[in-house]
Chains A and B, each alone.
Chain A
Amino acid sequence: MNKDMKILIVDDFSTMRRIVKNLLRDLGFNNTVEADDGMTALPILKNGGIDFLVTDWNMPGMQGIDLLKAVRADEKLADLPVLMVTAEQKRDQIIEAAQAGVNGYIVKPFTAATLSEKLEKIFERIDK
């Protein structure tokens, strides 16, 4: 896992972005950028240079699931690893995210250990 990779954190609540950012820093990832919904995240992604996307689901403007679908539909971004960190706990939604090609799914409230574990799992699979 490359600790210098650039991570985009997307959440409409700035407190949650700060929490994720701090946890990532604890895990050694210092290269993070932030966006407050899918609409602002997508141009950042399209500009290139983002190696990993952490997104919430329920956001005004563009929802996280739609951002995920847009990423998968974009030729250049299709392989970008995406981790969803969300309060959505409905089975149908988790299945929808899985079908849309999410790489990991964390429900809020979560622990630092969960984040670390999911990150490792995602990159273990990718690096194979």
Chain B
Amino acid sequence: MITKITMDKDSLLEKARAIVNNLENGNEEDAYRVLNEITHLSEEGLFQEIGKLTRQLHDTINAFRVDSRLVELTSMTETEMPDARERLNYVIDMTAQAADQTLNAVELSLPVCDRLIQQSEVLHQSWNMFIQRKMSAEQFRELSKELNNYFLETDNDMKTLRSSFDEVLMAQGFQDITGQIIKRVIHLVEDVETKLVQLIKVSGNYAVPSDSSMPIEEKKKEDNTHGPVVPGVNDGAEVVSGQDEVDDLLSSLGF
């Protein structure tokens, strides 16, 4: 770094001439004295620059400390981040539950389908024999019995399949609830990102005033109004734990 000497061009030239003159006249001591004067001035300039930088650094750190954006960010990392983790864990639980429910229904249904296919193949063969008049009376009585059993079993099997489909249908409800939860977490991540960008700007130019117009508490209140209740995440509001409690509450209100 080149330190600017706090001296105008003319007086610098004068000092330089004095050094040359002194040296030419053999006054070395005087020459060094003038040279020292110049160095001293140069050091003074350097100290002033360092002083200014120190002051700026001090102001920046102070501005940082009182900046509400940093306060907000700290409060977000302390409260919202663990909340977000809980929410995402709940999403994992819900999706796992939905996948299990669906897979259970499928695993229950596949053997039923296989059995139906197999039985209908056997019956089809017998039926063909009957049509081609290759069936004895004894065989026909056997076929009648088989048909009767088939109808009874099919009735049962179809009911099993029907209820499996219902299970699969209801399991898809996870998408709505996890979607709402994930949207909230995305919102939080965006918030943190905005605040980090603002802080980077602040550290580049500490004089930028904070523009967060809404107090943190108010913002939290606004964020927490809606969305599914997540176990382990307490929004501070009283919640009911299921349809029965909803019904109780409503009937207490005269419903």
Contacts and interface: CB of A to CB of B under 8 A. Distances in A.
B170 interface: yes
A95 B237 contact: no
Given A57-B226, A109-B170, A92 B238 contact: yes
A89 B250 contact: no
A123 interface: no
A128 to B, nearest CB: 14
Contact of A15 (B175, B246, B249): B175
Nearest to A112: B166
Interface string A44-87: 00000000000011100001000000000000000000000001
Interface residues of B, number: 28
B170 A90 contact: no
Nearest to A99: B253
A107 interface: yes
Nearest to A92: B237
A125 to B, nearest CB: 9
A26 B165 CA distance: 12
A107 B249 contact: no
Given A87-B229, A98-B253, A109-B177, A23 B169 contact: yes
Instruction: Give 5 nearest A-B pairs by CB, closest first.
Output: A87-B228, A13-B176, A16-B176, A15-B175, A58-B226
Given A87-B177, A87-B180, 9 more contacts: A13-B179, A15-B176, A16-B175, A23-B169, A89-B241, A89-B246, A92-B238, A94-B240, A107-B242
Interface of B: 166, 169-170, 172-177, 179-180, 226-229, 235, 237-243, 246, 249-250, 253, 255
19 contacts: A13-B175, A13-B179, A16-B175, A22-B169, A57-B226, A58-B226, A63-B226, A91-B240, A92-B237, A94-B250, A98-B253, A107-B246, A108-B177, A108-B228, A109-B170, A109-B173, A109-B174, A109-B177, A112-B166
Interface of A: 11, 13, 15-16, 18-19, 22-23, 26, 56-58, 63, 87-92, 94-95, 98, 105-112, 114
